[in-house]
Structure 1
Amino acid sequence: MGNRRLLATVMVGVVLSAALMSSVAIYSDAIRDLGLKFALEGENPRDLDIEILSSSQGFTGELYDDRVEITGRQLATGVGEILDATVRYGRSDTFFLAPVGVPPDLEDDGRPRSHFQFYEGLDEQIEVVEGRIAEIASPASGAPAVEVMLGAKAAVQLGVAVGDSFDLHPFWALGSEPVKVTVVGLIAPLDPDDPFWFGVADESRFIVTNTSWPTYAFFVPEETLTGALTTYLPDLRGSFWTYGLVDADKVNSRNAGGIVDSVKGMSAGLKAEILRTTVNTELPNTIESYEEKLFFTRLPLFALMVQIVGIVLYYLVMVSNMLVERQVGEIALFKSRGASTGQVMLIYFIEGAMLCLVGVVVGPLLAGTAISLLGLTPSFSGLSGGSTIAVNYSIWAILLAVVGVLLALAALLIPAYRATSNSIVNYKQSLARPPQQPAFLRYYLDLGLIVVGAFLFYQLRQQGSLVTDRLFGDLSADPLLLVTPTLFMLMIALVFLRLFPLVLRVASWAGRGLNGATIPLGLVHLVRSPLHYSRLILLLLLATAVGMFAAGFRATLEQSYDDRSAYEAGAPARLTYTRGGSPPDQFVSQVEETTNSEGVTPVARMSASYSDLATFTFVSSDLLAVRPGEFEQIAYWRNDFAGASLEELMGRLVPEEEEPAPEVGKIPAGNRYIGLWAKPPDLLTNPAFHGRMAVRVSDENKSLWEFTLFPVGEPDTGGWQFYAGALDDPESPRNQGSPDPAQELQLDAIFFRFTQAPTGDTRHVFLADALQTGKALPAEDEFGFADPTIVDEFEDVAGYATIGGVSQLRQPAVLSRVEEGRSDRYAAKLEFSVTDQGPQLFGFRPRSGADAMAVIVSEGFLEETGLERGDATLLYINRQYVNVVIAGSFSYFPTWDPNGREELVVANLDTIQDLAARVPVLATGAYPNEAWLPSADGMDLDPEALVLPGSSFAPEVTTEAGLREEAGSDPLVAASWEGILFLSFASVLLLTALGFVVYSFLTAQSRSLEFAILRTMGFSTRQIFGLVSFEQIFVIVSGALVGTFLGMPLSGLMIDFMGVNERGEDVIPPIVTQVSWSTVLTVYSLLAVVFVATIVALAILYSRLSVHRALRMGEL
């Protein structure tokens, strides 16, 4: 009892040890229950209910009863504890319905059908709109007369009234006598949304609207179906449903795992006992998905809790050592007077056991109370509804509390046992010469611990995660790897403790030249008793490091969720249309008008692929076509996504300026027809070759139209045939209308397409006088248009280039000028060879732009293809091959998932418009299908309000703010670490402050004589205050600085290994370590208040000590 104040501080540590250990189980159970409840509430209740369907089953009595018994037994045994009720429903096979005495018309596919159905407990769930409840039919020697009920809505639809009778002919026995039914009642469900109906009351039970023929769904008592009808039709079959209505409130963390196993076992058992039976429910998937999310969400929290408990145990060791050191003299006196080691240890064991008993009782209660109060915090409001959290004191919580107090008891007894080896002489020697190092440093045990920690850290580095795969594919957390961060932190702390005396000696040597005695005297005392000060430094170091890790972890997760939302959205807002149909500028204008926004940039998302037949390499990729200069102003980007900035990467996509190509093929406005003269080869004139000639034109918006040219009239005397087509009747695209006659057009291509041409020989065709006119087609006896306007005479073909990209052949055709003109000297000659590689399409088009475009690609694309920056290759884009040059690479790009199966290629949208749309028929216009917006403010996010003019497709709306809100809407993600971080901070702050106070109190008692003598030697109050302040500040600053610098890399290393999301996948983009300096400064400020108050109190105490009082407080 003489040390009751000091024992009270030990009791705080014991209680905290038990509380923190038990809080792992209590907090885990509370979070599991709340999170599971949230997950279940997010599902449609019908999806959680259990549906057992047995199809193509008989209705005979014994088989039917066995099926009912087996199904009910399996449900009751497997999941009976969570069911509110069970409902049985049955439906017969189809009957053909006809008026009484009239056979069904079997030739009519739309003939009426019917079936019988029953519900267990139907009478209590319906209202009789007209008539009465059907009676049970009695078996008869022939076809029974059956009373039936019909849904009131179905009766209106089918024109049925009470009293109407029908003949029902079984489809499998049309030769048998029909079953006569009479409608005796029209019914309706009391509540169509009642779980009893399993969500299908008005869909298929009371009225059937999903068939092309009239369906009469007749309700009968169950006994009618299994009695009279089965007696008459023994081979009558049907389907049976048993619904288990789940009460989600009965599902909790303690029975969830068993429920999953029971449902799976029940499904397997029913399939084995009853043929053609299936069990449908989303309950196991929901629970398993939640458990997986919980596993990955709690993983870093357990690692953090290990560190917190470690600090608590160290606090106990430190305080216990101080307590024992104060009593070493008493222990030595007991030993000198005959007390045995066992007797001394019994004293401490009794003291420790009493403290541990209090810890076991109070610790879990304290943890449960603190966790319960977390429900009042904003982080838990989504889970707890603003009330306290219900906690459960499971057996695991009590066992963990016992483990915590046993560890605390060991921390108390070990110092006491070491002290029993001291004699009076040893005790006197330790007073004169304090130990310089603890035993684990003297015997280099710290080096062994460093080796173990380094090995585990190496394992963690090799594995890349705290998660391990079990033998059968399950995920688990390796306990050894979970303590790795704690060992790593302890490794650094031990290294510091080994170097600390050296640092003190250097500081003491450097302070010899200082004026005054305060600082040199303080340094001398630090050098003389480094072990005494190192204990507090180690506590400060560990506490500060964990505080940095906790503060960094919270800030890092917040930033990670922001980054993930921005990365997935790509921009503040993104609209994705199912397909693009408008040129970029028109698309942007439509989007800006629809969304009432500015600064929209168009993006085309399509597929691209790389293939190398020589190495059998094929790489499938997504392609993102963007506009440099606009895209980088809107898109989300981080410097670690690539080795270059986004501005630099976009700049590489801009093509170099080239000399403009000659302008050819301009079609003036106001024309309706286009035509040209040609000397076609036999493969075009021979109908068996299925060849055709066509042209493609474009307008100023780069909209494309293709027109087939047909022969007009007979060839002239020179063998030239005139071909013409109407500009108001495009072959494709049909959904885009025809070109505006008042707009100037551009001849985009002249081409030939064959489907059955013979291969091998070189072929050629001559073209001359490409003409167009706004008048009618020429008459059969005329040669060409009556008043033609020459578009191009093909006197010079330098402005044209052959169409490439149909296949991987670099030059599929050759275009030249020859002296073979019709009205002039020259004509164009297109020479080509028909091969079996790719579509047989040949032609030429006006020369425009470069022949290759620059692209930037993902790092994975380079690895799979073996290409490097600067390499030229072919990519298959928009159904044609395009020459590209690799201009750069990246590791991450907004909206792209590197964990997916597709790589990514990024190109210039305007360049794609030209190079990837050069092959008629195959390559349509590469139009944008996404709009990236700089802001979502003021925009109506309803997809139906964002349908573009001329389209009926609503876009998919993705906003950065929406994704961030969705990520934060799951309170499990935030609350699961928010609460534990709060408890961790509170524990660290309390223990550090309490440890400092205890340390200072014991130091005051042990050094009272020293400071009293200093006062009698002339030290002033200010000097005493300065000496105490210097020693304490030196210790505090050393521990805090080292802990801060230790916590930053510790936080970074741990977050690297914990960089998985709640589904166990790598976080995209990678987590970037953050530090919440405001949180750190808050903790430091609170600790500083405690430290300053303690230092001032000690200084006042020391300054008032006199020699005669000091002699009574200690031994001279």
Structure 2
Amino acid sequence: MALWTMILRKMAKNKWLQLNLWLGLTVCVALFSSMPLYSKAILERTLLKELQSVQAQQQVYPGYVRIESTISAETMTEKTTAAIQKADRYVKTIPGKLGLDGLSFYQQRFTQKMKVYGADASELEIKTLNTIGGFKTLSDLEKRVHLIDGRMPVDRTDGVIEALATQKFQLATKRKVGDALIAESMEGDGARFRVIIVGTMDTDKTADPYLPYLTTDNPDGLLIPLSVFDREFTVGRKLRLSEVEWRLAVNYEQLKVGNIEQFVKADAEIRRYFRGRLGSEEINIPARDTISSYAGKEGKLNVMMISLYSPVMLMLAFYLFMTANLIIERQKTEISVLRSRGASRLQIMAAYTLESLILGLSALAAGPYLGVSFTKVLGASNGFLEFVQRSALDVTLTSGAYRTAALAVAGAIILILIPAYRATRVSIVDHKRQMARLTKLSFWHKAGIDIALVAIAIYLLRSFNNRQADLERLALDSDSLQIDPLLFLMPAIFSLGAGLLVLRVYPWFIRLVYWLGRRWWPPALYNTLVVISRSSGQYLTIKVFLIMTVATGLFSANAARTINDNMESRIQYAIGADIALTTRWQSDAPVFSASQAQTGQQQTEAAISNKRVQYTEPPFVPFQQLNGVESAARVFKKAGARYSISSNDKNGATTLIGIDTKEFGSTAWMKDGLLDYPINSYLNLIASNPKAVLISRSIAEQANLKPGDPINVYWDSLDRAQFTVYGIIDYWPTWNPLPGRSDGKSKVEQPNLIVGHLDTIQNRLAVEPYEVWLKLKPGVSSDQIYDELKDRKVTSLRDASQQLVLSKNDPFRLAINGVMTLGFVISMLISFFGFLLFWVLTLSGRTLQYGVLRAMGIPFLQIIGMLVSEQLLTSGAAVIIGVLIGGMISELFIPLFSMSFQTADQVPPFTITYQLSDYLHLYSIIGIMLTIGLLILSFRMSRIRISQALKLGEE
């Protein structure tokens, strides 16, 4: 009990220090717990949205399951009947196997096709009438069909079968409702049934919103109740069944990330069960591919979250270590006294362990709830330091989040206990000796950790650079946006190592400054230089902390901006304008039937090549007159064109692009800096000559061409047309200049490009379909353009704005923007609290010193000057070093993020993006932090009473 009393009293005595330590622990727990929470919440939201898009695209409920199987048995046997009944029971267990609730279900069965005619039909009518249809059944018949005429069928005992039929089939029998029909087998088994169509029916779309029964799926046949069908055919086996079908609707909104593996396994089990059991099966689960694509995504996203959080975690570790170290520094005298009076190291460590457990458990109680708030902030991010009114993530605390938080608390407690363990090794004599002079090298510098960290970071940097060079040289692809955790850990390692390395030599720089001006420095600066040079060790932690804060903050800002800018530039470059579309052109190309199409694509191409297809160009003016369109351009692209050079017999394949220079310049999107001159300069260059073309640098190097040289262009069997080279380009909207492997070839091929006038290409070569590019007016949405394009016979459409929205909603990109934004804000807040805590405690420890200085007659303003100069030479210098290191790691490590994108599609090339607002945010926060800190310190200093300070010194 005495131990608990001592711990609580000690915590109350240092309540502000304990509060800061608890704050760091709580933020640490919140960050760690937010990782699994975010991964689960964002994947479930994006999965739900993708499943909803399945419904929009395929017009089918996302939880739809359809199982169809033919019956391979030539005659119905007891074994076949048992297999069908067993399959019925199995299908009813499918929702449970998928881990979802069933919303709707029905089954259908179909017999062999039969000849249907009136019971009173003559021989001639029987021979001439060709109405074919079998018996079919539907579960819950009376609930799923809409009765147009007549009544529902009932079970009769006189051998007559009552049925429903569509109006189309009833009219095909040439009999009215209520007339008797004969259904006669066409397989020679002599089976004949007397049937009466007692009603005509249609689809009842309001009966079931999930699984409406569509009569259009199978309009021919006689629909009878399931009980009658099973008695007569499934069990009675009077006719051979040709097909059975089950349809289910499960609640896809219940699908969670943790259930994906169960869903995938159930899907495989269903397919395995029906494979060959009754006949040839067809299983249709439209959401299957979408759901399967999420298998394993949670693990990848968690790894990425750890890599994104690694710099912030490292800073939190520093904050906890610094706070714990400051607490122990204030209690070293107490610890050394306890040791001198017989207390064992184990007893002292037990007390500090219990104290840390109290803080850790309280942080564990509050941290996960703060983690929920962090997760919601991540879900609202739309860019770095940008938030939108996006629907809130559905976040619920899970056992996984608490396990992660508990591990974080355990690691933090171990980190906090390190200073206490080191303090128990020092006697009271050693402690007094250390307090007299603090010029001893720190453990970091003694062990050479700074040099080791920089060396490790440089080694990893070289390894990544070599890997990136191999990917580009061999035209290989890395996985799209699968970020290696080391890409974020390396900058943190380098900034820590570089900061420690600079601080190794910084005291010598201060001594040099002191020595150079020791005769002229004013008293305030003289005292500051002496204190910093003699006691540099006490400032090491806060300086490293500030360097890490500023450096990683700048790196996070620049990395997030760069990734966002390059992803958006790639989308816009690949499309070329706001919207790119193609329309249906009239031509004299032969039309092939489905049977002809099955003979193969080669025969089709051969038939077309015998005669050149003549196209009729549709009017282009209507696109220019669309409301909301600022400009429109015709862009012809021919991937299979060829070029030849008469002077040196050089030739090769190329992509040919035909444009109208004025339209194209007003419509196309092009990133600045990709060409030697602005793109409009190239367009103006060729505008004056209809035969002028621009060629890619690859053609210029292969064929030794320069401006002014002639070049021939043609394709297929066309006559060659001569053009004149006016310029050489490296990039052009939508054209990928990177080498690649085409058609599975092992050889890396260099793409070629020729850009010319569309009118000249059409006049001298051929008229073929082109794309229409649209540039929208500011504020105009794509939906407005879609409404106007409904009657334009659009065959394909690419929309840059829609693809940008999809890109921004990608879970991995949301994680990048959200975590970096959150990390930046947390880093700044933690830095402020750490800065304030350090200097308040430092000032408190110098109460005697400042009191003596005031007693000696030093004016208060000079003491403030000492404080300001000390701040500038410690915190200010750390900020400047942090800015320099932040810029250095941005230049060194951000280019490595290009490996996270598909190498073959990384056009425009990956470039680092800096934004002035990020630097202004950083400098503003640091300036406010230093200003508030100085004001608080000055206020505390002004309240120091000389008599109390001297009395404290006497004690």
| TM tier relative to shorter chain | 0.7 to 0.9
Aligned to 1:52: 67
1:507/1:639 Cα in 2 relative to 1: closer, same or farther (>3 Å)?
farther
The question of whether the paired residues in 1 share the 8 Å contact of 2:643 and 2:651 is answered with yes
1:57/1:384 Cα in 2 relative to 1: closer, same or farther (>3 Å)?
farther
| Residue type of the alignment partner of 1:99 | G
Residues 646-665 of structure 1: pairs in structure 2 closer than 5 A? 646-647=679-680, 649-650=682-683, 653=686
> Aligned to 2:670, which of 630, 637, 643?
637
- Deviations 1:344-401 (CA, angstroms, capped at 9, x unpaired): 2222222222222222222223212443577788999x99997764423223212211
| 2:453 counterpart of 1:449 | yes
Aligned to 2:177: 162
| 2:113 counterpart of 1:94 | yes
> Aligned to 2:256, which of 252, 258, 261?
252
| 2:624 counterpart of 1:605 | no
> Aligned to 2:715, which of 847, 870, 877?
877
> Aligned to 2:660, which of 620, 627, 635?
627
Moved more, 43-52 or 403-412: 43-52
Q: Distance in 1 between matches of 2:789 and 2:481?
A: 44
Q: State the Cα distance separating 1:532 from its structure 2 match.
A: 1.9
- TM-score when normalising by structure 1: 0.71
Q: Distance in 1 between matches of 2:78 and 2:902?
A: 49
- Deviations 1:474-520 (CA, angstroms, capped at 9, x unpaired): 99765555533332332332323223223333443455465522223
> Aligned to 2:194, which of 173, 180, 189?
180
Q: Distance in 2 between matches of 1:866 and 1:273?
A: 64
| 2:208 counterpart of 1:194 | yes
Gaps of 5+ in 1: 209-215, 657-848
Aligned to 1:64: 81
Aligned to 2:602: none
Q: Distance in 1 between matches of 2:265 and 2:324?
A: 48
- Deviations 1:813-859 (CA, angstroms, capped at 9, x unpaired): xxxxxxxxxxxxxxxxxxxxxxxxxxxxxxxxxxxx97xx6442375
Aligned to 1:437: 441
Q: Distance in 2 between matches of 1:482 and 1:620?
A: 42
> Aligned to 2:767, which of 921, 925, 930?
925
| Residue type of the alignment partner of 2:87 | I
| Residue type of the alignment partner of 2:323 | V
Q: Distance in 2 between matches of 1:650 and 1:337?
A: 89
Q: State the Cα distance separating 1:439 from its structure 2 match.
A: 0.9
Aligned to 2:949: 1110
| 2:351 counterpart of 1:347 | yes
1:13/1:1066 Cα in 2 relative to 1: closer, same or farther (>3 Å)?
farther
Q: State the Cα distance separating 1:631 from its structure 2 match.
A: 2.8
Q: Distance in 2 between matches of 1:413 and 1:554?
A: 35
- Deviations 1:964-1005 (CA, angstroms, capped at 9, x unpaired): 45555x475775445434532342232111111210121012
Q: Distance in 2 between matches of 1:88 and 1:620?
A: 56
DSSP-derived class of the 2:881 partner: helix
The question of whether the paired residues in 1 share the 8 Å contact of 2:95 and 2:250 is answered with no
Give the length in aligned residue pairs: 889
The question of whether the paired residues in 1 share the 8 Å contact of 2:315 and 2:548 is answered with yes
DSSP-derived class of the 1:81 partner: coil
The question of whether the paired residues in 1 share the 8 Å contact of 2:634 and 2:772 is answered with yes
Larger Rg: 1
Moved more, 1010-1019 or 1053-1062: 1053-1062
> Aligned to 1:527, which of 498, 515, 533?
533
DSSP-derived class of the 1:42 partner: helix
- Deviations 1:114-162 (CA, angstroms, capped at 9, x unpaired): 1222112222223444333223466x9xxx6422111357657876532
Q: State the Cα distance separating 1:536 from its structure 2 match.
A: 1.2
Q: State the Cα distance separating 1:49 from its structure 2 match.
A: 1.3
Q: Distance in 1 between matches of 2:932 and 2:325?
A: 24
The question of whether the paired residues in 2 share the 8 Å contact of 1:522 and 1:1027 is answered with yes
Moved more, 999-1008 or 258-267: 258-267
Aligned to 2:97: 78
Q: State the Cα distance separating 1:230 from its structure 2 match.
A: 5.8
| Residue type of the alignment partner of 1:315 | Y
1:92/1:421 Cα in 2 relative to 1: closer, same or farther (>3 Å)?
same
Q: Distance in 1 between matches of 2:236 and 2:54?
A: 45
DSSP-derived class of the 1:393 partner: coil
The question of whether the paired residues in 1 share the 8 Å contact of 2:555 and 2:887 is answered with yes
DSSP-derived class of the 1:1034 partner: helix
The question of whether the paired residues in 1 share the 8 Å contact of 2:112 and 2:239 is answered with no
| 2:10 counterpart of 1:6 | no
| Residue type of the alignment partner of 2:322 | M
Q: State the Cα distance separating 1:308 from its structure 2 match.
A: 1.0
The question of whether the paired residues in 1 share the 8 Å contact of 2:653 and 2:752 is answered with no
- Deviations 1:1064-1089 (CA, angstroms, capped at 9, x unpaired): 98554345433444354345434433
1:917/1:261 Cα in 2 relative to 1: closer, same or farther (>3 Å)?
farther
Aligned to 1:149: 164
The question of whether the paired residues in 2 share the 8 Å contact of 1:55 and 1:238 is answered with yes
Q: State the Cα distance separating 1:407 from its structure 2 match.
A: 1.7
Q: Distance in 2 between matches of 1:375 and 1:932?
A: 32
| Residue type of the alignment partner of 1:55 | T
Q: Distance in 2 between matches of 1:485 and 1:526?
A: 29
| Residue type of the alignment partner of 1:985 | F
| 2:853 counterpart of 1:1028 | no
The question of whether the paired residues in 2 share the 8 Å contact of 1:584 and 1:928 is answered with no
| Residue type of the alignment partner of 2:772 | E
DSSP-derived class of the 1:607 partner: strand
Q: Distance in 2 between matches of 1:367 and 1:300?
A: 17
The question of whether the paired residues in 1 share the 8 Å contact of 2:656 and 2:753 is answered with yes
- Deviations 1:317-349 (CA, angstroms, capped at 9, x unpaired): 111122222222222222233333222222222
| Residue type of the alignment partner of 1:46 | Y
Q: Distance in 1 between matches of 2:874 and 2:513?
A: 13
- Deviations 1:404-451 (CA, angstroms, capped at 9, x unpaired): 112211211111222222223322221222034311211213222333
| 2:368 counterpart of 1:364 | yes
Aligned to 2:216: 203
| 2:125 counterpart of 1:125 | no
Gaps of 5+ in 2: 1-9, 472-477, 588-613, 645-649, 743-749
| 2:566 counterpart of 1:571 | no
Aligned to 2:733: 894
Aligned to 2:695: 856
Q: Distance in 2 between matches of 1:964 and 1:983?
A: 22
| 2:885 counterpart of 1:1043 | no
* Higher-helix-fraction structure: 2
Residues 593-742 of structure 1: pairs in structure 2 closer than 5 A? 593=625, 600-610=632-642, 621-628=654-661, 630-647=663-680, 649-650=682-683, 653=686
Q: Distance in 2 between matches of 1:858 and 1:255?
A: 52
| 2:56 counterpart of 1:39 | no
| Residue type of the alignment partner of 2:670 | W
1:56/1:628 Cα in 2 relative to 1: closer, same or farther (>3 Å)?
same
| Residue type of the alignment partner of 2:931 | V
| Residue type of the alignment partner of 2:195 | V
DSSP-derived class of the 1:54 partner: strand
The question of whether the paired residues in 2 share the 8 Å contact of 1:129 and 1:185 is answered with yes
Identity %: 21
The question of whether the paired residues in 2 share the 8 Å contact of 1:1005 and 1:1113 is answered with no
Aligned to 1:830: none
1:171/1:494 Cα in 2 relative to 1: closer, same or farther (>3 Å)?
farther
Aligned to 2:836: 997
Q: Distance in 1 between matches of 2:273 and 2:902?
A: 30
DSSP-derived class of the 1:114 partner: coil
